Amino acid sequence: MAITGFLFALGFVAMMALALLRHPIWGLYGYIAVFYLHPPSRWWGAFLPDLRWSLVASAVTLIALLRIKEPPGRPSWISTTPARILIAYTVWLWIQGFWALNPVANQEAAVRR
């Protein structure tokens, strides 16, 4: 196994462990590392197992996020101003879909496939 691949795998496992044991931000760091390093496209990636690295990182991050207890007194995410603006914008895009000149572009903007 190449040293670079070994160091990547070791760092990835360490970040996933830190995400579960310390804070979920480590899972996000692991996801970003996988996104930018993209092991399957590197020469050292041939020595690593054929794994969906970003899916593993996102699943571990989700599990780590679900384990965190919300601090008391913190408002829910839907009660914040940016969330309300985003919801209103999405609803407005759905309403516009009935008379949009380019329905495909409007649908893509509303759903973001």
Residues 17 and 42 in one domain: yes
Say if residues 55 and 73 touch (Cβ distance below 8 Å). Answer: no
Neighbour-count burial of 23, counting CB atoms closer than 10 A to its CB (0-12 exposed, 13-18 middle, 19+ buried)? middle
On whether both 56 and 107 belong to a single domain, the answer is: no
Q: What residue numbers bound the domain in which 62 lies?
A: 3-67
Give the pTM. Answer: 0.66
- Tell me, yes or no, whether 29 and 51 share the same domain: yes
Over residues 15-60, the pLDDT tens digits come to 999 999 999 999 999 999 999 999 999 999 888 998 899 999 999 9
